[in-house]
Amino acid sequence: MKKLILTLCAVFVTMMSFAQYTFISNSNYHLNFYKAYLDVPIVKKASLANGKISNEMLDYICKKANPADVKYALINALGCNGKMSENDEVNHKTISSYFDTNYDSGMTFNDILRVLGSSTAMSMALINAYTDWMYTEEALENAKKVNKKEYNDSRTLQSTLIMTQLIAIEYSMGFVGDVTPMGTQEGFIESVKDILGMCKYAGDAEGVSHDMRKSAFDMIYNCLKEFDMEVGKIKIISKSSNPYQVSINGKVIGNTEPYEVYIHQCSPGYYHIKAVQVSGYAFSPTVNNRDVNVEDGETVTVTIGYED
């Protein structure tokens, strides 16, 4: 799967499926906000490094005093167009050797966050996200730790918030095509909306430091704005101790578990929900039919089954 942070794709939300996306590769779309920082020598070097990280770059990343947005631009320059993931093995060796030589080889992410600071820790999380989508769950959890630390330190950086949401988008893309019953992929659209809001109203949020260049905000906004689509939700509440098979507009989306609540993300519009009892009946299954109209940003609640 192509990395969204590296190469963005055209996205279409299907009206009939549960938050499933079709990604079409388009070489015209690249999230390359590093271009706003090409006057910074280390970012310029990274843009010419063909995705290979160097000790000099790691020196810059690990120095607490260096600005966070430049560190993230450096990594973006390395990762744009998928070059960093193509050099996964050599980059892993370079990073491991660097930490073995300059720090404790057994440093955990929490150690990096504590010793080297928030921007260095976020940089390492971002490197993981650029390397392979299999690492994005760990990267996202680590990014959340950085956000928590910045909040506790009363120093929340807008660039850190944006990088967290970019990793969240990356993580959500790892589940595209997931057919597990009632699975959720809400992170993609919600994170896009969050990033666009931060870019559009840069510096307006109370308690958040506007630490990125306006041209960088503009590049991120222009790259992601086409993915800002209308979206609503259907909350499905099971009131039964028996499982039900749920279909929306004739397409089966999965089985409910007893007394569970599920969130179905969809485009605005009219939907017919049909729930058929799977087991626990004597002669014939109970069938529930519901019709709903979902508007943009609205959550419509649907109850299926009966209280036992």
pLDDT-derived band at 52, boundaries 50, 70, 90: very high
Q: Measured between alpha carbons, how far is 214 from 220 in angstroms, rounded to an integer?
A: 10
pLDDT of 25 over the 80 cut: no
Residue 7 dihedral angles phi and psi, to the nearest 5°: -135, 110
- The mean pLDDT value for 113-132 works out to 92
Return the pLDDT at 182: 31
- Compare 28 and 42 and report the one with higher pLDDT: 42
Q: Which pair of structure tokens corresponds to residue 119?
A: 């921007």
pLDDT at 224: 86
User: In the structure, what pLDDT confidence band is assigned to residue 55 with cuts at 50, 70 and 90?
Assistant: very high
The pTM for the full model equals 0.70
- In a 13 Å sphere around the CA of 220, the CA atoms on its Cβ side amount to 32
Q: Please report the domains of the chain, with CATH numbers, ordered by start residue.
A: 7-227 (no CATH), 232-304 (2.60.40)
Cite the DSSP H helix spans in the chain. 41-47, 55-62, 68-79, 83-86, 88-102, 109-116, 118-131, 136-152, 158-173, 187-200, 214-224
pLDDT-based confidence at 126, cuts 50/70/90? Answer: very high
Q: What pLDDT score was predicted for residue 244? A: 92
pLDDT digits (tens, 9 = 90+) for 191-224: 888 899 898 887 666 778 889 999 999 999 988 8
Query: What is the rounded distance in angstroms from the CA atom of residue 197 to the CA atom of residue 209?
Result: 15
Per-residue pLDDT of 260-298, as tens digits, reads 888 887 777 889 999 999 998 888 999 999 999 988 778
- Of the pLDDT bands very low, low, confident and very high (cuts 50, 70, 90), residue 188 is confident
pLDDT above 80 for 230: no
Arithmetic mean of pLDDT, 72-85 = 87
- Compute the mean pLDDT over every residue in the chain, rounded to the nearest whole number: 81
Distance between CA atoms of residues 223 and 178, nearest Å: 26
- Compute φ and ψ for 51, nearest 5 degrees: 85, 5
What is the Cα–Cα distance from 274 to 286, expressed in whole angstroms? 11
The pLDDT assigned to 39 comes to: 97
What's the confidence (pLDDT) of residue 81?
Answer: 75
Predicted confidence (pLDDT) per residue in 137-155, tens digit: 899 999 999 999 999 998 8
pLDDT for 175? 52
Q: Is the pLDDT of residue 131 over 90?
A: no
